[in-house]
Chain A
Amino acid sequence: GQNIDQPTEMTATEGAIVQINCTYQTSGFNGLFWYQQHAGEAPTFLSYNVLDGLEEKGRFSSFLSRSKGYSYLLLKELQMKDSASYLCAVRLSGGYQKVTFGTGTKLQVIP
């Protein structure tokens, strides 16, 4: 089976930096996605990692270590609008490129 673990909830202060961790154990690996999901909305794509290392996109960065089955999403200069759930998702290797999602981390940004 597939297993993706993320913290359930996190709280951080506006203007600060927060790191959301994700560990995975899957039968095959062909990339890891991070999505943002505001309440009542569809997931929105944030980042993709397939090779080890850090990918930076403005205030958001994502890191991957395939040997450790570990990724994190780093959010800098937090804004109130960053309050949302953050989903870690692994694309499985093999046919049809199915994606398995973690349960998500609900981030609350406080003033």
Chain B
Amino acid sequence: NAGVTQTPKFRILKIGQSMTLQCTQDMNHNYMYWYRQDPGMGLKLIYYSVGAGITDKGEVPNGYNVSRSTTEDFPLRLELAAPSQTSVYFCASISTGDAYSNQPQHFGDGTRLSIL
């Protein structure tokens, strides 16, 4: 059972480039989330999804896009990379039932992104 898998683990981008951060989970979870974590800070919600075809903005969505064509995958796209998007990105998931219980979200290992 792999859980939540994020790729790549590290990436350096130039300003203006685009890229997609991949997130996949094999637990059949409906709810998936993308967070960013700047140095010395907590996690901020970028986008979330409650099922295939349904996505919504979180706290800091500007500069990002998402899609959810399958239950398993929730990719995050940066269209025009900017230095302010240098951060660590975490993907998380949880089942619909557990989202209302004492169970926490399952986190991936993160993608460390630097934009120069």
A and B bind: yes
Write out, one digit per residue, whether chain A residues 33-48 have a CB within 8 A of any chain B CB (1) or not (0).
1010000011101001
CB distance from B116 to the nearest CB of A (A): 20
Closest to B91 in A: A42
Q: Which residues of A contact B103 (CB under 8 A)?
A: 48
**Contacting B40 at CB < 8 Å: which of A31, A101, A102, A103?**
A103
Contact across chains for B48 and A98 when beta carbons are under 8 A apart: yes
| A residues near B99, Cβ cutoff 8 Å | 96-97
Pairwise interchain contact B108-A42, C-beta atoms closer than 8 A = yes
Residues 20-45 of chain B, each 1 if its beta carbon lies under 8 Å from chain A, else 0? 00000000000101010000111111
Complexed CA–CA distance, A35 and B104 (Å): 9
Question: A87 an interface residue at 8 Å Cβ cutoff?
Answer: yes
Interface residues on A, range: 20 to 34
Would you call B102 an interface residue if the criterion is a C-beta within 8 Å of the partner chain's C-beta atoms? Answer: yes
Residue of A33, A48, A97 with most partner-chain B CB within 10 A:
A97
**A37 CB to closest chain B CB, in angstroms?**
9
Complex Cα–Cα for A97 and B58 (A) = 12
How many residues of chain B get a CB closer than 8 Å to chain A's CBs? 26
Q: Which of A19-53 contact B (CB under 8 A)?
A: 30-31, 33, 35, 41-43, 45, 48, 50
Q: Which of A4, A8, A87, A98 is packed against the most chain B CB atoms within 10 Å?
A: A98
Give Cα distance in the complex from A29 to B90, angstroms. 23
| Cα(A89)–Cα(B42), bound, Å | 9
Bound Cα distance A89, B44 (Å): 11
Could you list 25 examples of A-B contacts with CB < 8 Å? A8-B40, A30-B100, A41-B109, A42-B90, A42-B110, A43-B43, A43-B90, A45-B104, A48-B102, A48-B104, A50-B102, A87-B42, A95-B50, A96-B31, A96-B50, A96-B99, A97-B31, A97-B94, A97-B99, A97-B100, A100-B45, A100-B59, A101-B42, A102-B42, A104-B40
Binding site for B on A (CB under 8 A): 4, 8, 30-31, 33, 35, 41-43, 45, 48, 50, 87, 89, 95-104, 106
